[in-house]
Amino acid sequence: MASPSPSTTPNPSLVTNVQALRNFLATIGPSSSIYVDLEGTNLGRRGTLDLITVLVPPDRKVRIIDVKAMGNQAFTTPSKKDDNVTLKSILEDPSIRKYLWDVRNDADALKSLYHVAISGVIDLQLLENLTRQGNSSYVTGLDKAVENDLRLDQQEQSEWKKTKEDIRKRMASGDSGIFSTRPFTTPVLRYCAGDVQFLPLLRKAYETRPAYTPKWWTHLENASAKRVKKACSAKGYNATGATRAVGPWGSDPAYFFRKGKQLGLRATSSTSQKGSQKDGNQSEGLGLKPTKELAPFVLVESQRQTTHRGLGSTLISKLASLMKRVMP
């Protein structure tokens, strides 16, 4: 587990007008990496996008962009340094890395509501799943990741957890306008900051796990891009479906990639996959080109997981669907 540097929840800075946004965008360079989270009422194509929270290393300061207040101007306002740079261009630039925890609803909201196609994403939920020791059949939530994978002092973890629980109770009780109400309350600001506050530490924790290998980075990029593409699709995306919890590489990613290599399957970058993705010939976030040679492996993997991991019918159905696609 990674140890954070001594800190408390950072006080976020609000970006509520064009001038503040221009100044903030000027701090994001072409080689920057940013940590991002979105909030809204029923976040996604059927809801609203009210806030975008951004952390730009090495500065630990968190900015909260008020999309509700600025509307389209939040995405079209140019940087103070360069008129060609906007929040939209930054989010769509594949060379600027964006780290999120479960990008799916965020990508859906950006594309559906503001026509922003986020690119250059590394989904840290998938990085955790990829490097986990033990069964990787299901992904984990941010709360569990912070609790289990970071060594926070008791007070810091308790405050972070209490803030999350309090806001969620309000949402569960029907307070649907919690992120659209102005002025902001301190608990709401802390809740938003908390969603990005520990993402850099979690990334470091997972990149130093024994199971981590840079050779898998292409698989991670491809699976993250696949999540974005599926979330932005015109149909077929279920924002609350049970299968959202299923990991993309089965119970054992190392076994999956090893078997793929033995079958002569090659990982490809997200840019070289464009043609196969248009044809629907890209396996489900796996970063492997499916052929009929993959079908026996899919069957073997489904049998292995059912026998040894005790998985239910959901994963079997998913694998069976993939097998039908790649069989002649």
Closest by alpha carbon to 60, among 89, 27, 90? 27
Q: What is the bridge-based pairing of β-strands 13-15 and 33-39?
A: unpaired
Does the pLDDT value for residue 132 go beyond 90? yes
Q: How far is CA 259 from the centre of its chain?
A: 27
Please indicate, yes or no, whether residues 168 and 264 belong to a single structural domain of this protein: no
Return the SS3 of 10.
coil
pLDDT at 272: 41
Asked if the model's pLDDT at residue 17 lies above 90, the reply is: yes
User: What share of the chain has pLDDT > 70, as a percent?
Assistant: 75
Kindly tell me the number of DSSP H helices and DSSP E strands found in the chain.
15, 6
Residues 46, 8 share a domain: yes
Q: Tell me, yes or no, whether 224 lies in a domain.
A: no
- In the chain, the number of structural domains is 2
Same domain, 26 and 88: yes
Choice among 170-184, 239-253, 262-276, 277-291 with the minimum mean pLDDT: 277-291
How far apart, in whole angstroms, are the C-alpha atoms of residue 111 and residue 208?
Answer: 33
What is the pLDDT at residue 174? 82
State the pLDDT at residue 265: 52
Evaluate whether residue 110 is within a structural domain: yes
In whole angstroms, what is the distance from residue 25 CA to residue 63 CA? 11
Domain extent, residue 62, equals: 1-212
10 falls within a domain: yes
Lowest mean pLDDT among 53-67, 96-110, 215-229, 307-321: 307-321
Domain-embedded: residue 101: yes
Q: So what's the pLDDT on residue 85?
A: 98
Question: In degrees rounded to 5, what are phi and psi of residue 38?
Answer: -120, 150
pLDDT digits (tens, 9 = 90+) for 59-111: 888 999 999 999 999 999 999 999 999 999 999 999 999 999 999 999 999 99
Q: Does residue 186 sit in the same domain as residue 243?
A: no
Q: How confident is the model at residue 317 (pLDDT cuts 50, 70, 90)?
A: low
Residue 205 and residue 247 in one domain? no
* One domain, residues 271 and 185: no
* One domain, residues 182 and 265: no
What is the C-alpha to C-alpha distance for residues 82 and 79, in angstroms, rounded to an integer?
5
205 falls in which pLDDT band (50, 70, 90)?
very high
pLDDT of residue 89: 98
Taking 60 as the threshold, does the pLDDT of residue 299 lie above it? no
Highest-scoring range by mean pLDDT, 1-10, 257-266, 285-294: 257-266
pLDDT at 29 over 60: yes
Under 8 Å CB-to-CB from 150, ≥6 apart: which residues? 1, 2, 3, 4, 198, 201, 202, 205
Question: Above 50 in pLDDT, residue 305?
Answer: no
